[in-house]
Amino acid sequence: MARNDYRAMLSKRMEKEFSGWFEQEHIQEKDLYRFLHTMKGTAGTIGLDEMSSFCSSQLENLSDTSETLIPVRSLKNFISLMRSFFHSNEENAVLEEEIEEVPVSIEENGSFVLIIDEDAEFASYIKETLEENGVQAVIALTGKRGVELFYTLQPHMVIMDAQLPDMNGFDILTQINDIARSRHVPITLVSVDGRAENFSKAYEMGAMDFIPKPININVFIPYVSNRLKYRSAIWQSALTDELTGAGNRRQFTQTLSQMSALAERKRHTYSLVMLDLDHFKKINDQYGHPAGDEVLRSFSSLVLRMKRETDYFFRYGGEEFALLLADTIPAEAIVLIERIRSKFAETAFTIPPFDPFHVTFSAGVSEYRIDEATVLNEADQALYKAKRNGRNQSVVYALDSGDVKRHLNIMIVDDDLLVRKMLSKQFAGWKPNEIDVLIHEYPDGISFLESDWYKPDENYMILLDGIMPKMDGLEVLTNVRKRFPDDNIVISMLTARTNEADIVLALKSGADDYIVKPFHPQEVVARVQRLTKRMFK
C-alpha cells in the first residue's frame, strides 16, 4: 500500500478522535498524551516528519497519568494545526509515490513476524511492508492477544510497542523472554519514549533491540532481514529443545531418516510413537502459559527417565512429542508407553492459588514398513484415533483399519463469486498427505451461519469478507467467536481496507489475521498453511 494511503487512514483516525472530543466539554490530559503518543510514532514512520516533531514537542508538556481536565474549546488551534499537516502534504502525494524507493528485499523464505502494537496504522504499515518483501506478519492490538499468538503461532521475530492498552511491553517481555530465548526468537521493543533508561531496561530484560519511533522504514526492513537471518543460522545449529531437554524437530527428522536407512540395510524394524498432551490449551488458558511450560518440562523429564538408553525422545512441536524405539515392535512399545502414561497421570501439578490438577496424554504407535513418510503418517493416524476415542489412551496403527485423516474445512464466505471460485480452485490443488482439505463456499454471512457448519471434531479456516450484503463480516465474526471455541477455528478477514476501523474492530473481536484485497490466490494458500499449522501439531 502506498504511503499516501496510510496518510489518508491516519487522517481519518485523527478526525474520528476529534469527533469524540467535540461530543464532550473536557478531555483528560492523559488522553491527549496518548493521542499525541500514537500520532508521533505513526506520523514519522509514514513520512509526516513535521507532524511527528510537533507531537514530540507537545508531549514534553503533558503527563501520561494526569487526569487534569482540558476544555475542548481550548484545543481549536491545536486541532487546526494538526489538520494542516495533512493538507500541506496533499500536493506532493503523487510526486512522492513516483519517486518512492523500492524496499530492500528480505530473502529468507517462510519467515514469520508477530507485531504487537495498539496503533493499527503503524502495525498495518509495518505488516504490509514486510509482506511486500516476503515476510509474513500477524498483528496483535493488545498484550494479552500478543502473548497468545506468541505461544500458538511461534513467530520467528517479535516487534512490540513498549506501551499497550492492557499491559506494557516490559510485562510481555517478562512472560515470553525465556521461551523466546529457547527458540532463538529476537524481540524488538519500539516506542516514542526514547529515554536512555528505556534502552537499558529493555536490554537488561532480554530484548535484542530497542528502536525509537518514528522508524526509518528503509533502514528497518534490512534490520529485520538481518535479525531473521541471524536467528535462522542459530536455529539450524541447535538440536535440543531448551524448554524440555528433548531433541528438537530438526534432530527428530535426522534420526528418523537414519533409522529408516538402517532398517532398509539390515532389515531391522523400529516403532514410532507420537504423543500428545490432552487438552493442553485449556491448561494455558486456565492456569497460564508458565504453568503449561512446567507441564511440558515435567512430562519430558519423566519420559527421559523412563525410556531405555536405546530410545530417542523428541519434542515434535507444541505439546506433541515423539519416541523412536529401535528393534521394537508396537506390542513392546505399548508396554513402555502405558507405564509412562500411568505414571504421568499420577503427577499432581500445583499452581497457587488453584487446586492441584492432573494431565493425561494420548499416543499413536506405528511400525516401520515402507518408508519414513508412511510410518510418520500411520503414527499420526493412530494418535488421531486415540484422541477421537476419548483421549488418555494408546492406539496401534492397524493395516486394515483404513486411514482416518483429520479434516481441515476451508470456509470461503464472500459475496464475490469470482473470489470464491478463484480461491476454491487454488485450494483444490493443496493435497497434504496427513490432512483432507474440504472446501465450502458461502455467498453471504447468513447462509454460512445457518448452514449447521460446525462439528466439534473438525478444524476450520474461515476466510471472511469484511463487507457483505445482509450481514456484515464483522457481525459474522462476532457471532462465531461468541458461539464456538477458538482452538479449532482460525479466522482471516478479507478486506479492501476501505475502512480502517473495521480492521481494528476485527482484530479486537477475535480475527486471527487479515488479507488485503487484491491478493494472489497462491499467497492466500501459503498464509492459510501457516495459520492452521498449530491445529495439526
Q: Find the CATH number of the domain harbouring 259.
A: 3.30.70.270
Of 31, 39, 37, the closest CA to residue 14 belongs to: 39
233 and 152 co-located in one domain: yes
Q: Is residue 83 part of a domain?
A: yes
> For the chain, how big is the Rg over CA atoms in Å?
26
Q: What is the pLDDT of residue 98?
A: 37
Contact 72, 21 (CB under 8 A): yes
pTM for this predicted structure: 0.60
pLDDT digits (tens, 9 = 90+) for 354-365: 999 999 999 999
Q: What is the pLDDT of residue 96?
A: 39
Number of helices (H), then strands (E), belonging to the chain: the values are: 20, 17
User: Which residues, in sequence order, are bridge partners of residue 209?
Assistant: 188
Q: How many residues does the chain have?
A: 537
302 and 386 co-located in one domain: yes
Task: Write out the DSSP string of 65-104.
Answer: S---EEEGGGGHHHHHHHHHHHHHHHTTHHHHHHHPPPPP
To the query of whether residue 107 is one of the catalytic residues in this protein, the response is no
Q: Find the CATH number of the domain harbouring 209.
A: 3.40.50.2300
In 270-319 the beta strands, taken as DSSP E runs, fall at 270-277, 311-317
Q: What is the pLDDT of residue 537?
A: 56
| Unique residue bearing C-alpha cell 524448554 | 243
Within 8 A by CB and 6+ apart from 40, the residues are 52, 55, 56, 59, 192, 213, 214
Q: Is residue 231 part of a domain?
A: yes
User: Which residues, in sequence order, are bridge partners of residue 81?
Assistant: none
315 and 451 co-located in one domain: no
Helical ranges in 23-75 per DSSP H: 29-45, 49-59
User: Which residues, in sequence order, are bridge partners of residue 490?
Assistant: 461
Q: Is residue 401 part of a domain?
A: no
Q: What is the pLDDT of residue 4?
A: 64
Q: What is the pLDDT of residue 386?
A: 92
Q: Which of 29, 121, 148, 319 is catalytic?
A: 319
Measured at the CA of 121, the angle between CA 420 and CA 533, to 5 degrees, comes to 50
Contact 426, 480 (CB under 8 A): no
Contact 180, 151 (CB under 8 A): no
149 and 47 co-located in one domain: no
357 and 464 co-located in one domain: no
Q: What is the pLDDT of residue 372?
A: 87
Last residue of a domain, one of 345, 366, 396: 396
The sign one gets for the Cα dihedral 420, 139, 142, 192 is negative
Query: H or E element: which one contains 21?
Result: helix 3-22
391 and 411 co-located in one domain: no
Of 363, 396, 381, the closest CA to residue 434 belongs to: 381
pLDDT digits (tens, 9 = 90+) for 494-535: 886 556 677 788 888 889 888 877 677 788 888 888 888 766
Q: What is the pLDDT of residue 76?
A: 79
pLDDT digits (tens, 9 = 90+) for 183-235: 889 999 999 888 899 999 999 999 999 999 989 999 999 999 999 999 988 87
Residue 364 region by backbone torsions, left for phi larger than 0, else alpha for psi between -120 and 50, else beta = beta
User: Which residues, in sequence order, are bridge partners of residue 69?
Assistant: 28
Q: Is residue 101 part of a domain?
A: no
- Residue 46: HSE in the Cβ half-sphere, 13 Å Cα cutoff: 31
Q: What is the pLDDT of residue 104?
A: 42
222 and 335 co-located in one domain: no
Q: Is residue 512 part of a domain?
A: yes
- Grid cell at residue 30: 492523559
Q: Is residue 107 part of a domain?
A: no
276 and 299 co-located in one domain: yes
pLDDT digits (tens, 9 = 90+) for 159-175: 999 989 888 889 999 98
In whole angstroms, what is the distance from residue 51 CA to residue 88 CA?
Answer: 11
Q: What is the pLDDT of residue 400?
A: 56
442 and 526 co-located in one domain: yes
Total of domains in the chain: 4
Pairing of strands 187-191, 209-212: parallel
391 and 490 co-located in one domain: no
Write the DSSP symbol of residue 535: G
Query: Which CA distances in Å does 36 have to 30, 41, 119?
Result: 10, 9, 12
Of 450, 473, 471, the closest CA to residue 462 belongs to: 473
In whole angstroms, what is the distance from residue 352 CA to residue 434 CA?
Answer: 40
| 3-class SS letters over 199-249 | HHHHHHCCCCEEEECCCCHHHHHHHHHHHHHHHHHHHHHCCECCCCCCECH
**Residue 398 backbone dihedrals phi, psi, to 5 degrees:** -110, 135
CB atoms < 10 A from the CB of 69, how many? 12
Q: What is the pLDDT of residue 367?
A: 93
First to last CA, the chain: 34
Of 229, 7, 2, 196, the closest CA to residue 110 belongs to: 229
List strands edge to edge, sheet with 157-161: 136-140, 112-116, 157-161, 187-191, 209-212
387 and 411 co-located in one domain: no
Amino acid identity for residue 178 in this structure: D
255 and 226 co-located in one domain: no
Q: Print the domain residue range for 54.
A: 3-94
Q: Is residue 106 part of a domain?
A: no
Query: What is the pLDDT tens value at each position of the chain, 537 positions in all?
Result: 555 667 887 888 888 888 889 888 899 988 888 888 778 877 777 778 888 888 888 888 788 788 888 888 878 778 878 888 886 554 444 333 333 333 444 443 468 899 999 988 899 999 989 988 888 899 999 999 899 889 878 899 999 999 898 888 899 999 898 888 888 899 999 998 888 999 999 999 999 999 999 899 999 999 999 999 999 888 776 778 889 999 988 889 989 988 888 887 777 789 999 999 999 989 999 999 999 999 999 999 999 999 988 899 999 988 999 999 998 999 999 999 999 999 999 999 998 889 999 999 999 999 998 888 889 989 999 999 999 889 999 999 986 555 556 789 999 998 877 678 888 888 988 877 667 889 999 989 999 999 989 987 788 999 998 878 788 888 999 999 999 988 789 999 988 655 667 778 888 888 988 887 767 778 888 888 888 876 665
- Grid cell at residue 200: 537499558
Q: Is residue 253 part of a domain?
A: yes
